[in-house]
Amino acid sequence: MGLHPFANSAVEFAFIIDPIDRLDPGHDTSVALMEAAQAK
């Protein structure tokens, strides 16, 4: 069995969010998801 064709590919994310000045890091899930993606 061979590796999956995307096994060595980088994962890229796109986030559709509210305007930056309206994001609340303590409340918005979008911020937590972006931080988790950046940590990987």
At 1-40, the pLDDT tens digits run 566 666 666 777 888 888 989 888 888 898 888 888 888 7
Instruction: Report the phi/psi class of residue 9: left, alpha or beta, with left for phi > 0 and alpha for psi in -120 to 50.
Output: beta
The answer to whether residues 15 and 39 touch, using CB atoms and an 8 Å cutoff, is no
Q: How many domains does the chain have?
A: 1
Q: Which domain holds residue 39?
A: 1-40
Q: DSSP assignment, residue 33?
A: H
Q: DSSP assignment, residue 6?
A: T
Q: What is the pLDDT of residue 39?
A: 84
> From CA 23, how far away is CA 2, in angstroms rounded?
44
Q: What is the pLDDT of residue 3?
A: 66
Q: What is the pLDDT of residue 25?
A: 85
Q: What is the pLDDT of residue 34?
A: 87
The answer to whether residues 31 and 23 touch, using CB atoms and an 8 Å cutoff, is yes
